[in-house]
Structure 1
Amino acid sequence: MELLPCLLVFFLLHVPLACPAPSGIRATLTHVDSNGEFTASERYRRAMRRSQHRMDAIGEMLTVSGIDARATVHDGLGEYMMDLAVGTPALPFSAIMDTGSDLVWAQCQPCVECLPHSALQYDPSNSSTYSASPCTDSYCTALPSTCTTACIYHYDYMDSSWTEGVLSTETFTFGSGDPIPDITFGCGYNNSFNTPFYSSGLVGLGPGSLSLVSQLGFGKFSYCLTSIDDLSSTGTLLLGSYADLKEPASAIRSTPLVADSYYFLDLRGMSIGATLLPIPSDTFANNIFIDSGTTFTTLPRAALELVQQELRSVVDLPPANDIPWFDTCFQLKSGEVPQLPDMTFHFSGADMVLPMRNYMVVDMEAGVMCLAMNPSSDPVSIFGNFQQQNMHILYDVAGKTLSFAPAQCDKL
């Protein structure tokens, strides 16, 4: 509660003070489908459609901009929402957490084009802490904008969706923490999304200057995502001093972040059980993008075919060929699920060992289990959040390192 004494003095004495920023933030994460009554098969199909859309967007974005350059168009969708509040008085809402973009934005009233699923009724004229950013603001030049008396931004997404509004500053509250003043955000009056967008805004956590983690100078953040099969549980997002891994040191592994503009990892190879797959050394030449918003991992076809081949050799079940949303599926016998060996991703300096539940989807309704991976779109592969579930993952943005350890995310 670092800000509370400062705020009390401000209100009692009416003296403007330079309140210290908090050392960290904690926020709850919920899956975008947590409020829907979907069957397991429906959840997987919905997740696959979102993953395919995001994979195509990221692939096109990086084809246009390159891995080491910031894009002027962004991927935009996500899988996990965080709870926060905007303004004074504070209005709670949910926003997509996105490691693939930078801008923090929320829908503002009166909106011209409005998000159909947004419950937020934030009118900046009713907030005592709102301020439109001037043309001279350095953040105004960090994104496409026009400026006369205020900074009017336009932020494009790859599916021709966009958000447009006034770049502004406002007080935000995260979880049960103290209000944090003067966060730069997009006050979105025109928000046009061609794919379903089940929140009232988005919190960018990329490495760019506009992202929340960069604005607050934290230098690091972590998250722990619960399973798509357990939508009643919630995960956690931690920023700043709260983000340190508390797991045993012996369980923590670290690998470099190898690009300045996006979160890329150097993937060297893969194993299933004790078998190192004969993946050619140049297969992952473009590295792999670790992403909070893509559900299922995508791999170059040459690597994926070797994974599929090895799985078929260890799974004693007939193939299921009529499952449209996954490439590799097996028909379960009498509803019994076989136990499969762990899968290991060999990153530079660190092995991430995944249990079967982190790489196989088991759909008891359809009587199948499927490999939760698909072929990638050039030029990029994506390490999806299904593979990250129940893994505490720390992005040390300042130190250009990603660390991780197995965790029970609903207990973090």
Structure 2
Amino acid sequence: MASSSSLLVRGRAFALVVAVALVAAPRRINGGAAGPAARTNDPNWHVFSVSSLLPSSACTASKAASNSSALGVVHRHGPCSPVQARRRGGGGAVTHAEILERDQARVDSIHRKVAGAGGAPSVVDPARASEQGVSLPAQRGISLGTGNYVVSVGLGTPAKQYAVIFDTGSDLSWVQCKPCADCYEQQDPLFDPSLSSTYAAVACGAPECQELDASGCSSDSRCRYEVQYGDQSQTDGNLVRDTLTLSASDTLPGFVFGCGDQNAGLFGQVDGLFGLGREKVSLPSQGAPSYGPGFTYCLPSSSSGRGYLSLGGAPPANAQFTALADGATPSFYYIDLVGIKVGGRAIRIPATAFAAAGGTVIDSGTVITRLPPRAYAPLRAAFARSMAQYKKAPALSILDTCYDFTGHRTAQIPTVELAFAGGATVSLDFTGVLYVSKVSQACLAFAPNADDSSIAILGNTQQKTFAVAYDVANQRIGFGAKGCS
């Protein structure tokens, strides 16, 4: 018979083995103290209801900016979209794969513009055009639809409402106009200059025409413009001025924009585009004398939510700022992304990775953030290590790191923080970490560039829920958390 002291030792040893086994056992995701509730208060993890990953079928309200110039921002393909509201019952819904393929076409266009800096246009192999999402010149009129967020503005006197894409990568604003020689199909009636008492054509000798580097003059000395986008979509027409209505009590007289009479591709059912770029003809530049330089927008967390776009005004009090950087093209906004944290830990990215790529463009029209492969690979690896408890899902177009949350009531993912030059650190909302096509396919919302020499792009998925302040006067960009709520 074993002595009492021997039994005590064995009992302690057994208890130690059990304790070690419990510590080493994988954490359960649903239920129990080891589930997501254990990390609810951990600042390095997002714990959320799986049902919250999918947008509502109804439009939901959210905070609007106090600035009187604020415009409501909605997702082009969501239930709040004026385009979708008018299309109900006609035409099929765009798929996530199509959105991501078109996104790649936009990224390719940005890369060509930055790399070319005025060089000859690249040649596209017709056999590969459809799989790349690139429109050939012979296919004019095919919509690529690379803009995701729309605002409604009024033009003319009396004002007529138009749903337009807003784009930080473009300068000239334009809508399709009567009479139109070649226009793509849109839901609203075309802008009719003859119905506006404040309409005026811009003459060839006007400063606005010279600054635009316009394509020429019409027979009656009106300024003609031509803009050809990277995917061969284009708009041609007259440069004009008329009253822009931002709200019932807020107008911008003499707003200069393009009245397109030959347009093809890119924008689908929307009525045109409003440019938020850095040149003098852009909307914020024209609005600066009235509202102050710069602008702020907040993109909603879901395609069923609402955000805002406001001109001028003070940046949000909680914003973290990083300086605007020099770049190869004058229209784009460049910033310096210098590091990434996953779950509170900095991942190892070569110090030269972002600089060698030419920096980072922040773009409202790109969906998925693109990183140099040397930065994407360690991000993907760190995220995947933290997600080992979930079943993997098939890749979705350009997104290669996807998970299946089927059967889970709640889920948890590590935080992802972006570090910028000057010390600004932005912790992404969980909706900015994942791109979700369905509960069984939730993907890391980052993708690698084709090579390390292509510029990084901060896409709109990562910008969601932030008040993104373009403080042009002080040459900086700020990110204010919970900007739409």
**Structure 1 segment 283-294 matched on structure 2, within 5 A:** 283-285=353-355, 286-294=358-366
Unaligned stretches of 5+ residues in structure 1: 1-22, 67-74
Residue 74 of structure 2 contacts residue 303 of structure 2 at CA under 8 Å; is this kept in 1? no
- Residues 1:177 and 2:249 are matched in the alignment: yes
1:367-403 CA-partner distances (Å, limit 9, x unpaired): 1221011112552111111111110010012221001
Mapped partners of 1:202, 1:196: distance in 2 = 8
Q: Which residue of 1 aligns with 2:414?
A: 341
Residue 68 of structure 2 contacts residue 247 of structure 2 at CA under 8 Å; is this kept in 1? no
Q: Which residue of 1 aligns with 2:70?
A: 26
Residue 131 of structure 1 contacts residue 170 of structure 1 at CA under 8 Å; is this kept in 2? yes
1:54 counterpart (99, 106, 112):
106
Match of 1:89, SS state, is coil
1:276 counterpart (346, 368, 373):
346
- 1:408 CA displacement: 4.7
Q: Which residue of 1 aligns with 2:171?
A: 102
1:261-308 CA-partner distances (Å, limit 9, x unpaired): 221111111010122111001110111111111111111111111111
Q: Which residue of 1 aligns with 2:217?
A: 147
- Residues 1:160 and 2:232 are matched in the alignment: yes
1:178-217 CA-partner distances (Å, limit 9, x unpaired): 3321111111111111x45231111101011110111222
TM-score (norm 2): 0.72
Closer, same or farther in 2 for the Cα pair 1:118/1:362, shift >3 Å? Answer: closer
1:239 counterpart (305, 311, 321):
311
- 1:128 CA displacement: 1.1
- 1:47 CA displacement: 2.8
Closer, same or farther in 2 for the Cα pair 1:221/1:334, shift >3 Å? Answer: same
Residue 203 of structure 2 contacts residue 223 of structure 2 at CA under 8 Å; is this kept in 1? yes
CA-based RMSD of the aligned residues comes to 2.2
- Residues 1:266 and 2:333 are matched in the alignment: no
Closer, same or farther in 2 for the Cα pair 1:99/1:76, shift >3 Å? Answer: farther
Closer, same or farther in 2 for the Cα pair 1:351/1:192, shift >3 Å? Answer: same
- Residues 1:211 and 2:255 are matched in the alignment: no
Closer, same or farther in 2 for the Cα pair 1:118/1:191, shift >3 Å? Answer: farther
Mapped partners of 2:260, 2:436: distance in 1 = 40
- Residues 1:253 and 2:320 are matched in the alignment: yes
Say which structure is richer in strand. Answer: 1
Mapped partners of 2:346, 2:112: distance in 1 = 31
Report the number of matched residues: 369
Mapped partners of 2:395, 2:370: distance in 1 = 20
Match of 1:174, SS state, is strand
- Residues 1:321 and 2:394 are matched in the alignment: yes
1:233-263 CA-partner distances (Å, limit 9, x unpaired): 211001022xx234xx4x3211001026221
Closer, same or farther in 2 for the Cα pair 1:322/1:287, shift >3 Å? Answer: closer
Match of 1:165, SS state, is strand
Q: Which residue of 2 aligns with 1:135?
A: 204
- 1:318 CA displacement: 3.3
Residue 27 of structure 1 contacts residue 237 of structure 1 at CA under 8 Å; is this kept in 2? yes
Closer, same or farther in 2 for the Cα pair 1:33/1:308, shift >3 Å? Answer: same
Match of 2:186, SS state, is coil
Please tell me the residue identity of whatever aligns with 2:321.
Answer: S
Match of 1:309, SS state, is helix
- Residues 1:400 and 2:467 are matched in the alignment: no
Unaligned stretches of 5+ residues in structure 2: 1-66, 119-143
Residue 55 of structure 1 contacts residue 376 of structure 1 at CA under 8 Å; is this kept in 2? no
Q: Which residue of 2 aligns with 1:5?
A: none
Q: Which residue of 1 aligns with 2:140?
A: none
TM-score (norm 1): 0.84
1:226 counterpart (300, 307, 327):
300
Residue 100 of structure 2 contacts residue 397 of structure 2 at CA under 8 Å; is this kept in 1? no
Mapped partners of 1:42, 1:128: distance in 2 = 39
Match of 1:284, SS state, is helix
Mapped partners of 1:364, 1:192: distance in 2 = 33
Larger Rg: 2
- Residues 1:384 and 2:453 are matched in the alignment: no
Residue 404 of structure 2 contacts residue 441 of structure 2 at CA under 8 Å; is this kept in 1? yes
The alignment-based identity, stated in percent, is 33
Mapped partners of 1:330, 1:300: distance in 2 = 23
Residue 329 of structure 1 contacts residue 370 of structure 1 at CA under 8 Å; is this kept in 2? yes
Please tell me the residue identity of whatever aligns with 1:60.
Answer: R
2:434 counterpart (352, 360, 368):
360
Residue 394 of structure 2 contacts residue 441 of structure 2 at CA under 8 Å; is this kept in 1? no
Say which structure is richer in helix. Answer: 2
Mapped partners of 1:400, 1:153: distance in 2 = 29
Residue 172 of structure 2 contacts residue 282 of structure 2 at CA under 8 Å; is this kept in 1? yes
Please tell me the residue identity of whatever aligns with 2:386.
Answer: V
Closer, same or farther in 2 for the Cα pair 1:97/1:330, shift >3 Å? Answer: same
- Residues 1:371 and 2:444 are matched in the alignment: yes
- 1:135 CA displacement: 1.1
- 1:136 CA displacement: 1.1
Please tell me the residue identity of whatever aligns with 1:275.
Answer: R
The worse-fitting range, judged by mean Cα deviation, of 399-408 and 345-354 is 399-408
Match of 1:29, SS state, is strand
- 1:52 CA displacement: 1.0
Please tell me the residue identity of whatever aligns with 2:326.
Answer: A
Match of 2:194, SS state, is helix
Closer, same or farther in 2 for the Cα pair 1:49/1:28, shift >3 Å? Answer: same
Residue 236 of structure 2 contacts residue 262 of structure 2 at CA under 8 Å; is this kept in 1? yes
Mapped partners of 2:267, 2:226: distance in 1 = 20
Q: Which residue of 1 aligns with 2:60?
A: none
